[in-house]
Amino acid sequence: MLAAGIKLAFLEELEGHLRDEISRQASLAKNLSHTFDLAVKQIGCPEPLACEFKKIEIFGWNRPLAWTAWIVFVASFFLPAIQNGWGWQCAGISLTALSWSGPWNFGEVYLASLTLANLLMIASPWLLVRFSQNSRSLKWLRFSFFGALALVWSYILLLVTHMGQKGVMLGCYLWGFSFLLLCLSTVKFRSNQKNPTQYV
């Protein structure tokens, strides 16, 4: 199974199925010497199983939704965001907040942290491709994206309360919407596919 390219996490699942099948065959069979062979045949050959597991891996994250998030994020930089400021200008202000000297206050830290959210969005294509195969890593990515989403939308709501709806422009809302889409692209959802061992 390893030689066929089936990952260790899936092998643990297959081992559980194999043990269940051995127990079932043992309770039905009179000749216990063939029980293991029958259970192995019931699980199936490695190559078809590897293909079915690859189909399941596609459902780790929603690629079209993530692509939409990245496109919307980039588009938000070329639209008016706050009053007369474009999205890229607002991102530049939050980036320069990192280099401000003197004692920092909460507002400056808050503004600088938006740069971290933007950097997370920029790094997210690589992070998703690299770490989405591991469910624990994907879970941490999900939490990180949700944290960035909460940070960005809390800032947008703060702007709306201070500047009013007319001061906050389309680019700002699209910027926040891109983080929502990215977060949703990693939400775990169930596929309609059956267990791979039921295909063979």
Share of the chain above pLDDT 70, in %: 78
pLDDT surpassing 50 at residue 200 = no
Q: What integer is the mean pLDDT of 46-57?
A: 62
pLDDT at position 109 is 81
Structure tokens at 148: 């960035």
Q: Please classify residue 162 by burial: count the beta carbons closer than 10 Å to its beta carbon, then call 0-12 exposed, 13-18 middle and 19+ buried.
A: exposed
- Tokens 């004692």 sit at which residue? 103
CA dist., res. 114 & res. 121, Å (int): 11
- Kindly report each contact of residues 136-145 with a partner whose C-beta sits within 8 Å and lies 24 or more positions away, as own/partner: 138/60, 138/61, 138/186, 141/186, 142/183, 142/186, 142/187, 142/188, 144/120, 145/120, 145/179, 145/182, 145/183, 145/186
Per-residue pLDDT tens digits for 61-103: 788 999 999 999 999 999 999 887 898 988 888 888 767 666 6
